[in-house]
Amino acid sequence: MAWNDQGGGKDPWGGNRGGDAPPDIDEALRKLKEKFSSFGGGGSGGGSFGTGGKSLATAALTILLLLWAMLGAYQIDEKEQAIVLRLGKYSETVGPGLHWNPPLIDSVEIERVTEERQYSARGLMLTEDENIAELTLTVQYNISDVKAFVLNIKDPETTLQQATDSALRHVVGSSGLDDVISTGREQIAIATAEKLQDYLNVYDSGINVVKINIEEARPPTQVQEAYDDVIEAREDLERYINDAQAYSNGIIPQARGEAQRLREEAEAYKSQVVSKAEGETERFVALLTEYKKAPVVTRERLYIDAMEEVMTQTSKVLIDSKGGNNMLYLPLDQLMRSRSISRETSNLDAVDVDRVADQVLDRIQRNSTRQGEGRR
C-alpha cells in the first residue's frame, strides 16, 4: 500500500475521498486556523482566533510605539547646544531644556559650547634670524557656533592642530630668537592667537580661541649653554645700567642743589657789590658837593678818615709823648687781645674801658717824661 493510501478511501489530510477525488482544501485550512487559534486564547472557534490575534497585535504595536516615543526624548543642559538632523539634513539648533524628536528620522548632535577646552602642542620653529626655537604651548578654546563645529569640519582636533602649527610658524618666523625665548613671549602668544582665529574663521569652524599660553620656549639642547651665557651677559648689562641709573638719580639732584646754592650766593654777592658801589657813589657825590663848598676842611677831613682807616688795620700805634722826642710803639694787637680777654672775664662797660685806656696812656706818658729827664 502506498504512503497516501489509507485504505477505506481516506487521504492523508483526514478526509474521505472516494476513488480519485482531490483532497478537501477548505478542511485543511480550517484545521490550520484551529491550531493558530490555540495561541490566541485556546478557543475552539474561528471567532476566538480572530479576537485574540487582534489583541496581541494591538498590545505589541502599543509597546513599540511607547518605546519609540521614549527613545525620542532627550535633555540638554545649560552648557550645551544641539543640532537636529532630519534624514541627514540640518533641521534646527536647540538650546537647553527637554526636547523630543522622532527616532530613526531625526538624529541629534549635542556639544558643550561654554566649556573651555584645551589643546597642547609642541614643536621646533625657525625664527627670523635663522635660529631654531623649541616651543610648548596650550590653546584654550570653546565653541562659538555649534552648527559650523559639527557640520563644516570633519575632525575639529586635527583642524585645530594644523591651524595652530601654521599660525605659530608664521608668527615665530617673523620674530627673532630673543623675542621668542625671553622678551617678546607674551606678544608672540597674542599674535599667534589672533592669527589662529583668522585661520579658523576662514574654515568657518565655529571655534573661538580664548587664549594661547606659551609654557616653554628655549633654544635647542646643542646651543643651550651658549645661550645661557648670552642671557647672563644681558642680565649683567641690565644690572650695570640700573646701577648707573641709581647713581645718576642720586648725584644729579645733589649737583642741582649745589648749582642752585652757587647761583644764589653769586646773586647775593652781586647784589652786595652793586649796593656797595651805589652807596659809594652816593657818598662820593655828597662829598663832592661838600668839597665844592669847603675844599680845605673837606681835604683835612678826608685825610683824617684815611689815616683812621689805615691805623685801625695795623697792629702797632705810634704815640708822641709830650715834652719828649721819643716815639713809642704799642702792640695794638696784644692790647686788643688783652682787652677782649678782660671783657670776657669782667662785666666792664664802655666807659670803664675808656677810663682804663686813659690810665694806661697817662702812665706811659709819665714814664716817657721820667726817661727824658734822666737823660738830661
Greater confidence, 70 or 129? 129
Q: What is the mean pLDDT of the chain?
A: 75
Q: What is the pLDDT of residue 250?
A: 86
Q: Report, as an integer, the average pLDDT of 355-366.
A: 66
Q: What is the pLDDT of residue 147?
A: 84
Q: Which domains, from first to last, does the chain contain?
A: 25-70 (no CATH), 74-112 (no CATH), 117-218 (3.30.479.30), 315-375 (no CATH)
Q: Report, as an integer, the average pLDDT of 229-234.
A: 82
Greater confidence, 227 or 367? 227
Whole-model pTM: value is: 0.46
User: Cell digits for 31?
Assistant: 484545521
Residue 75 has pLDDT above 80, yes or no: no
Q: How far is CA 97 from CA 21, 66, 68, 94, in A?
A: 74, 21, 20, 9
Greater confidence, 147 or 35? 147
Greater confidence, 356 or 5? 356
What sign has the CA pseudo-torsion 251, 256, 259, 264?
negative
What sign has the CA pseudo-torsion 266, 272, 275, 276?
negative
Residue 12 has pLDDT above 60, yes or no: no
* Inter-residue long-range contacts of 97-103, CB under 8 Å, 24+ positions, other chains counted: 98/73, 98/74, 99/73, 99/74, 99/75, 100/69, 100/72, 100/73, 100/74, 101/72, 101/74, 102/68, 102/72, 103/68, 103/71, 103/72
Q: What is the pLDDT of residue 5?
A: 47
> Residues 265-304: pLDDT tens digits?
999 999 999 999 998 888 888 888 888 888 888 888 888 8
> Residues 217-228: pLDDT tens digits?
888 777 778 777
Greater confidence, 21 or 148? 148
Residue 312 has pLDDT above 80, yes or no: no
> Residues 98-122: pLDDT tens digits?
777 777 777 778 788 888 888 888 8
Greater confidence, 363 or 89? 89
Residue 19 has pLDDT above 50, yes or no: no
> Residues 161-189: pLDDT tens digits?
899 999 999 998 888 887 888 778 888 88
Greater confidence, 148 or 43? 148
Q: What is the pLDDT of residue 358?
A: 67
